[in-house]
């Protein structure tokens, strides 16, 4: 049903209260159906209430019903409601509708663009995430650290080192300060792209490293097959007085990788010892005596070497 802007009129306080009561009773569909039939525009607080209600319900059907109504009066929405509309839909997985909303609104802020970028990246559409980022930049907006976090994750998923380097350089050029959370994400991105030296540079540049920072660097060494460096970092972690629940398993993986590269996994004694370690750590491989069967085709037990 198409609703013309000229046909819309402001709803009465009683009608808005009625819609809220329906939502409180769980009758959200009835509330949205009545709103559609009434062809009335609501106050900003009521729109915010409906948007949050639809998000909490996690219903695509409900978001579509509200979306149709909002599209009809996009130019009359306050900036706050417009941005909430975009972010609500993006976070609920209705990315197409969120993008449609962003186009229909006169202006949206960085947080709304970031929500769309994050949604695309989260659903495995990394290239689309960068296309939206380009559109955001074309609007004259600069990314926040949260935008960059989503894009760093996208680069890591793509294992696109060139793109990751350009994005990192862009952040430095714009003077965007990366906090420890953003730096940890950048570190993992470089690790997933196989850039150990850049990952190390990020790690040692973090002023106040968190447990996540240490784990990320440790995982990078292990994933790239640097068992000796992983052990050295683990000792450094202990000297700092920190403890990591995942570190022992990462060290076991590092030992496994070194044993494989040196051809020791065919030795039943060593293989049995490795199996025992994984058993103790509730490991992630089947209990077998010979671990050679679980090596990847590229010569490293975990897919990278």
Show me where the domains of the chain are located: 5-237, 238-305
pLDDT per residue over 250-266, tens digit each?
Answer: 666 666 666 666 666 56
pLDDT per residue over 184-201, tens digit each?
Answer: 999 999 999 999 999 999
Tracing tokens 């920072």 back to the chain, one arrives at 213
pLDDT per residue over 98-127, tens digit each?
Answer: 999 998 988 899 999 999 999 999 999 999
Fold of 5-237: 1.25.40
Distances, alpha carbon 84 to alpha carbons 48, 75, 172, in Å:
7, 14, 30
Band (pLDDT 50/70/90 cuts) for residue 277 is low
Q: How far apart are CA 260 and CA 6, in angstroms?
A: 73
Tracing tokens 């380009």 back to the chain, one arrives at 134
Going by C-beta distance under 8 Å and a sequence separation of 6 or more, which residues neighbour residue 21?
A: none
Band (pLDDT 50/70/90 cuts) for residue 15 is very high
Strand ranges, E, within the chain: 9-10, 40-41
Band (pLDDT 50/70/90 cuts) for residue 89 is confident
Q: What is the structure's pLDDT at 3?
A: 39
Going by C-beta distance under 8 Å and a sequence separation of 6 or more, which residues neighbour residue 203?
A: 187, 209, 213, 216, 217
Q: Which of 28-37, 39-48, 140-149, 220-229 has the lowest mean pLDDT?
A: 220-229
Torsion angle in degrees (nearest 10) through CA of 110, 115, 116, 122: 140
* Selection from 39, 35, 36, 38 nearest residue 8 by Cα: 39
pLDDT per residue over 228-249, tens digit each?
Answer: 788 888 888 777 776 655 556 6
């Amino acid at each position: 049903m198409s609703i013309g802007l000229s046909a819309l009129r402001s709803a009465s306080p009683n009608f808005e209260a009625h819609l809220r009561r329906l939502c409180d009773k769980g009758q959200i569909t009835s509330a949205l159906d009545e709103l559609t039939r009434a062809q009335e525009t609501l106050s900003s607080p009521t729109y915010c209430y409906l948007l949050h209600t639809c998000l909490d319900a996690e219903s695509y059907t409900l978001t579509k019903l509200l979306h149709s109504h909002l599209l009809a009066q996009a130019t009359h929405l306050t900036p706050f409601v417009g941005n909430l509309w975009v972010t609500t839909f993006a976070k609920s997985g209705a990315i197409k509708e969120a993008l449609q909303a962003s186009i229909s609104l006169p202006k949206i802020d960085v947080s709304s663009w970031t929500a769309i970028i994050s949604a695309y990246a989260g659903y495995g559409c990394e290239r689309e995430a960068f296309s939206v980022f380009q559109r955001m930049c074309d609007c004259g907006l600069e990314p926040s650290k949260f935008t960059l976090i989503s894009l760093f994750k996208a680069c890591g998923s793509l294992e696109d080192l060139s793109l990751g380097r350009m994005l990192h350089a862009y952040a430095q050029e714009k003077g965007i300060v990366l906090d420890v959370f953003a730096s940890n994400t950048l570190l993992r991105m470089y690790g997933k792209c196989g850039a150990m030296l850049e990952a190390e540079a990020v790690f040692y540049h973090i002023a106040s490293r968190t447990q996540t920072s240490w784990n990320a660097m440790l995982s990078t060494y292990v994933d790239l097959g640097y068992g000796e460096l992983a052990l050295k970092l683990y000792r450094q972690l202990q000297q700092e007085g920190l403890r990591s629940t995942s570190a022992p398993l990462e060290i076991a993986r590092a030992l496994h990788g070194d044993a494989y590269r040196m051809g020791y996994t065919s030795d039943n004694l060593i293989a049995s010892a490795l199996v025992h370690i994984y058993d103790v750590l509730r490991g992630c491989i089947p209990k077998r005596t010979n671990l050679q069967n679980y090596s990847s085709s590229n010569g490293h037990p975990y897919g990278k070497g």
